[in-house]
Structure 1
Amino acid sequence: MKKERVAFLGPVSSYSHQAALGRFPEAKFELVPVVTIRDIFEAVQSGDASRGVVPFENSTNGSVVFTLDLFADRELSYPDLSVCGEIYHDVHHCLLGHKSSSLLQESDGASTPTPAVPQPLKPRTKPLSSLEKIQRIYSHPQAFGQCELFLGSYLKGIERIDVTSTSKAAELVKADTTGTSAAIASEAASVVHKLDVLARNIEDTTDNTTRFFVLRKGLENDKVDEAGLFAQDGAHEKSLVSFTVDHKSPGALADALDSFKKYQLNLTSINSRPSKIRPFQYIFFVEFEGSKLIDPEGVVKGAFELLDKAAQSWRWLGSWTDQLSAKMGARSPSRDGLGKPIKGSGACERLKAKHPNFIYDRLRHDKSSPYQLLETTLAKYLPSFVNRTLPKQLLTPSWKLPAGYHLIFFPPPTTDLLKDGTDNMHFPGKPWVRRMWAGGSIEFKTDDRHKYLFSRYHQSDVVRCREKITNAVVKGSVDNQKVWVDIRRDIGPTHSNRKPSTAESAAIIETRNLVFMPAKTPEQAIDDISKPIRTIKPTIKPDFSISMVPDANLLFRFSSLTFNAHRIHLDREYARTVEGFRNLVVHGPLSLLLVLKALSSQMGSSEMVKSITYKNLAPLFADEKMTICVRRSRSQANATSTEASGDTEIPMNEDSAPEQAGSTQVEAESTSTEADGTPPEGNGEVTRWDVWIENAEGGYAVKGTAETVAVGDETPQLHPVSKKLIRFIRTKA
C-alpha cells in the first residue's frame, strides 16, 4: 500500500521535520522535505502531498508572517486548503559551527547597563568554546528573534543572514570550513551535518515552543481529522477564519468580532496582515474555540452567519482538536470503580500526551567511543571472551552492533535534572519522586534474509532513536500508590541526504518500564535499610554463569557513559538516608547489558540475539557479589549440558584477573563451550534461553527469557579499493 506523503520545511533535521515525525510516523507516511513554506502549500493544493506541516507561531517571537501571508491567499492560489490539526514542538536552539582553537574568554554575558535599561537581562547560557572568529550567523528569522539575549551579549554586531530554515543554515555553515560562520539550529542538525556545538539552549526562555499547523486539501469533511492522528477525548476544538472589513465604517471591526461574542465563542488569538488591495488596509485572522465540523448546537454556524453580514469578505480556514488543552490534561480524569477520580490520573494523561523525543547519535567504535570505553570499563570485571564482542574485520567500516550496546548511546536530550539527579522527561510530578527501573524488553530486527539490520550500516551513519511514552497508569492501594510509565524506543538509521529514508523499519525496538513512588521519610529510609530483601531462589541451574562484584568505580563510569546522574548510583549517603537502600544501586541498564554479554558469549558465531524480556525483582548493590546466569531451554539443549556437572561457574572479584579466571574455569568445568570460550555452532533454529542474575543472597534480582536465532551470511561487502589493498598486502606478505 502506497504511503501518504507529508510535506515539511526541510532539510532533514529541521524543527519542522522533528515536529512532523512526532505526528506522522515513517512506518505509515512518507515525509517529503521542501525548500519554502510556499512549497508546502503548493504541494498540498496540487495533491503531490496529502498533508503539509507549516510553522504558525512561536511562544517567544509570535506569528510566522510567511505562513499568515499564504493563508491570506490574495490571489486565490490555495482555495481548497484547510487546517486539520496542530502540533506543539519544544524548540531548543544551539549555536553550531567549527570549533576554534582559541581559548574561551570567561564572561557572565551581562550587557552594559544604560539609563533606559538599568538592569539588563542575562542570557540563559554561556558559550562552550571561543566565538571570536565568527563573522556571520545564518538562521531562520524566527530563530534570531528567539535568541536575542545570547546574540546581544556574545555576538553583538555580528552579521545575521536569513535563510529558509535552521537546518539550511547548518548546511551552509558545514560548507564554510574557515570557522567564521555559525548557525542557529537544533542539536540534531549538528549530528547530521557534523558540526560542533558552540553553545546550547541559547533561546531566551525555557518554554520556547513553536506551534505548527497541519494542512490538507478539502474544506468540507465530516471528521476533524480523517487520519485519526489528532483526536483527543474531551479536548477543545478550535477554528481559524480570515476576514476583511470596510475600514471607512466606524466600528466595522468591532461588529465583526461581536459575531463571536454573541454566541459565547472564546477568541484565542487575533492577527492581521496587509491586504495589498489598498495601503494600510488589512486581512484579519481570528482563532476561536469551536468547530464548524462538530457543532451540535449550531453556535459556530450562527456566528458565521453574523460574520457574513458584518464583514466585506470572510473565509473559514479549518477546524481541529486543540492539542494544548489535551496536553494540559483537559480530558476527564480516570475514575475508580466507585466513580471517584483516581489520584494521579491527570499526571498520567499529561505524560501520555507528550510528543516523542528524537535523539540522534553515531554508533562509533573507535578508541574514544562509548563502545570502547564500555569494554575498557568492564575489563576488570569480566573475562575477555565475555567482554570482547567486536569482530575484527580488516578495512570494513560496516559492523554489527553487539546486543545491548545501544544502551550507552542516545543520552537523554535534557538539561533539567530533578533533585535525585534523574531527568524530567518521564517524571509524573509530586508526590512520585523516586524512580526505579522495573523491567522491559528488546527486539533486535532482521531483514527478509535473516540478516541483522544494523550489520549493513557504517559507523559514520546517523542513527535516530524515537522515544515515546506509550502508557502511564496509577497502581497500588490508596496509601501506597505508584505510577507505572511505559516507554518505547525505536532505533534505526537515518540519512543526512535531502530525502529521508522511509523504507526501513526500526532495527531495535525497546520497551522500558519505570515505576515512580512517593518519597520516604528519614525514619522509613533508615528502617528499610535493616529490613531483609525478599528472596526468591531459582529452582533451575545455569549452563553458564559468571560472578562479579560491582563497585563504586564501575557505577560511576557507567553513569558517565549513559549520562545518568541518578544519585542512587553515585551518592551512598543519599541512597541510604533518602531512598532506604543499604548501598549504591547497580543500574538497570548495566545489569541488562551484563546479561546480554553473558548470553552472547554462549551463542554460536552465526547466531544473534533476537529478543529479550526481563523484570527487575530486587536491587543489586555495590560491593556485593552478583552472579549472571544463562540456560538453554531444556527442550533444545543437548544431553551433556543438562547435567549439573556441566554448569560453568566463574567467580570474579575486584582483585581477580579476568583472563586467568576465565581460562582456568572454562577449561576445567565447561561442557557447553569450547576451550577458547566459543560455543558450538547452532542448528539455525530459534533457541530459547532462561536468563537471570542472582544477588548476594542467592535470590533472583533480574529474571527474564531470551531468544537467539541463526542469521544469514554476514560476510562484509568490501569497497573495491579495499579489496585491491588487501590483495596488495597479501602479495607482499
Structure 2
Amino acid sequence: MCSNSLRSSTSSRKVLALMRHASSVSSGLHQEMTARRLPLIYDYLSPQPAHLLDLSLVDFFPALYSSSAAGYALPKALPSIHYPRRMAVGHHLVYFPPQVTLSQLLPDGTDILHAPGEPFNRRMWAGGRARFPQEGGPLLDGKRAVCVEVIRDVTLKGQAGEEKVFVNIERRIATVEEGEDEEDIRGRICRDDEEDPGDAVVIERRDLVFLREKTSEQLRADKAQFGNNNRIVKPPLNPQFSHKIKPTKALLFRYSALTFNAHFIHHDKAYTQDVEGYRNLLVHGPLSLTLMLTVTRFSLFKLGRVVREIEYRNLTPLYVEEEMNICAKPKSGRGLDVWDVWIEGKDGGLAVRGTVKTSDLEDGDRDNRF
C-alpha cells in the first residue's frame, strides 16, 4: 500500500511538473508572438489578380459565371481601371501575398512570419473568419492599398510531445496614399476592439496550427491508412444549393502562384506523402474558402443578398482530383440572414463547415459588385 501511494505521489508530481512546463511554454510563446511587429504588406488594387482567379475558376462553375445566372459575364480581356468593378468577396485572398525572401521560407515552404519556431515545423490552415463591413469591396482601380497584420492570440494545446500551437492572425485591408506614414496607417486601421472595422474594407482572421514533425512510426501508420477514412462527420441535410467540382493539379498550381504560396503540400506529392503523411496533394485552406464564397456569392445574388461575413472551420483534408460538394442552406429560424455553408469530401463526410451572414443587395451595386 505504501509503495502504491509512493508511485501515485511520484506520478502526480510528474503530471504537475509537465503542466507547469506547458503553461510556461504557452505563456512564453504568447508573449513573444503577440509582441511581433509584422511588416506592412502593400499592394495595388489592380483588376488582374481577381481576373486571373476568375479565369481559373470559370470552368468549374460555368453556370454560375454565366450572365443569365448572376447578371455578370466574365470579361474576355483585363477589366479597365477607368470603369472599375468592386472586389468580389473572397478575392482579397489573392492580394497582399507574403513579401518574404527565399531565405525566409521554412523547410516546408511556408514563411517565418507567423511560425512559433522549433519544434513546431508543420503548418496547417485550421479555419478563420472574414468580414466585409462596407457595401461592396474596394474598387479595383489600381490604387495603392495595405494589409496590416497582427498576431492576436497564441495557444498551446495537447499532451507533452503531442502539442499543437494555434496562432490567430488578424489582417486588415484598407486603401492608403503614396508616402503615407507607417504609424499613421497603423493608427487609423488597427483597432484594439476586433469588432471595430476602423478604415478597413476587409477584416480577416486566420487560424493556423503548427505541429511537430511526424516520426517514422507515425508516417508508416499514416501510409497504411491511405485510401481509408475512419473519421467521417455527417454533413447537414437538404442543402438549398450545391455544386460538385473536382479540383485539379492545375488549379492548385495557379492558386499557389496567385497567392505566392510555396507550401510543398500543394505541389510536391512525394513530400506530402513521405513527410506530412497525406495520400495526395492537399487543397489549400484559403482555396476552400474561395470556393465556398464563390458558390455562395453567386447563388445569393439571385436572391438579392450579399455576403457580409463568413466564419468557418476546416475539419478534414480535401485532396486534388477528388470530388467535393460545396453546399449551403438558410440556418433554421434565421430567414435569409444567416446560412450554413459546408464542403463535403468524396466520401460524403463533412470537410469544411461555416456560417455566412448576409444583407440585402443594394440596387446600385448590382452592376459593379462582381
Q: Judge same fold: TM > 0.5, yes or no.
A: yes
Aligned length: 327
Distance 1:717 1:395, change over 3 A: farther
* Counterpart check, 1:374 vs 2:53: yes
- For the structure 1 residues 634 and 387, does the alpha-carbon distance in structure 2 shift closer, same or farther, using more than 3 Å as the test? farther
Query: Which residue of structure 1 aligns with residue 128 of structure 2?
Result: 440
Q: CA deviation at 1:716?
A: 9.4
User: Which of 280, 302, 306 pairs up with 1:583?
Assistant: 280
Is 1:703 the equivalent of 2:358?
no
Counterpart residue number, 1:475: 157
Residue 523 of structure 1 corresponds to: 217
Aligned counterparts of 1:359 and 1:394: Cα–Cα separation in 2: 24
- Please report how far the alpha carbon of residue 630 of structure 1 lies from its aligned counterpart in structure 2 after TM superposition: 1.1
Residue in 2 that maps onto 1:683: none
Q: Which has the larger radius of gyration?
A: 1
For 1:447-596, list aligned pairs within 5 A.
451-452=135-136, 454=138, 457-496=139-178, 502=188, 505-531=199-225, 532-533=228-229, 534-596=231-293
- Local SS of the residue matching 1:377: helix
Q: Shift of residue 551 of structure 1?
A: 1.9
1:129-185 deviation per Cα after TM superposition (whole angstroms, max 9, x unaligned): xxxxxxxxxxxxxxxxxxxxxxxxxxxxxxxxxxxxxxxxxxxxxxxxxxxxxxxxx
SS in 2 for 1:421: coil
| Residue among 86, 94, 106 paired with 1:418 | 106
The answer to which structure, 1 or 2, has the higher relative contact order (CA under 8 A, 6+ apart) is 2
The CA distance in 1 between the partners of 2:299 and 2:263, in whole Å, is 32
Alignment partner of 1:342 is 2:23: yes
> Does residue 610 in structure 1 map to residue 304 in structure 2?
no
Give the one of 405, 415, 440 matched to 2:91. 405
Verify: 1:635 aligned to 2:333, yes or no: yes
CA distance in 2, matches of 1:485, 1:538: 27
Give 1:584 shift: 0.3
> Does the residue aligned with 2:265 lie in a helix, a strand or coil?
helix
1:586-644: CA deviations, max 9, x gaps?
0000000000011011113653211000000000011111111111224355xxxxxxx
> Identity percentage over the alignment?
37
Q: Name the CA shift for 1:505/1:336 in 2 (closer, same or farther; >3 Å).
A: farther
CA distance in 1, matches of 2:22, 2:216: 30
CA deviation digits over 1:486-532, x for unaligned, max 9?
00001111122768785962111100100001001233223213333
**Where does residue 141 of structure 1 map in the other structure?**
none
CA distance in 2, matches of 1:408, 1:395: 18
Q: Is the 8 A contact 1:536 1:699 kept in 2?
A: yes
Q: What amino acid sits opposite 2:222 in the alignment?
A: D
Contact 1:526 1:576 in 2 (8 A): no
Compute the displacement of 1:397 (Å): 2.8
Per-residue deviation, 1:383: 1.8
Cα distance 1:618–1:487, how it changes in 2: closer, same or farther (>3 A)?
same
Q: CA deviation at 1:715?
A: 5.5
1:371–1:338 distance in 2 versus 1, CA, 3 Å: closer
Q: CA deviation at 1:585?
A: 0.4
CA distance 1:465–1:391, shift in 2 (3 Å): farther
1:396 CA drift (Å): 5.4
> 1:559 aligns to what SS in structure 2?
helix
Q: Is the 8 A contact 1:336 1:342 kept in 2?
A: no
> Contact between 1:441 and 1:611, CA under 8 Å: does it hold in 2?
yes
User: Higher helix share goes to which structure?
Assistant: 2
Report the TM-score when normalising by structure 2: 0.81
Instruction: Name the CA shift for 1:363/1:498 in 2 (closer, same or farther; >3 Å).
Output: closer
Distance 1:425 1:442 in 2: 20
Distance between the aligned counterparts of 1:568 and 1:340, measured in 2?
32
Q: 1:584 to 1:395 in 2, by over 3 A?
A: closer
User: In 2 relative to 1, CA 602–715 (structure 1 residues): closer, same or farther, beyond 3 Å?
Assistant: closer
Task: Tell me, in whole angstroms, the C-alpha distance in 2 between the residues paired with 1:588 and 1:518.
Answer: 19
Provide the secondary structure at the position in 1 that maps to 2:31.
helix
* Cα distance in structure 1, aligned partners of 2:170 and 2:64: 31
Task: After superposition, give the CA deviation of every residue in 1:621-670 in whole Å (9 maximum; x if it has no partner).
Answer: 11111111111224355xxxxxxxxxxxxxxxxxxxxxxxxxxxxxxxxx
Give the aligned residue type for 2:39: N
The answer as to whether partners of 2:82 and 2:141 remain within 8 angstroms in 1 is no
Structure 2 residues not aligned, in runs of 5+: 1-15, 74-78, 190-197
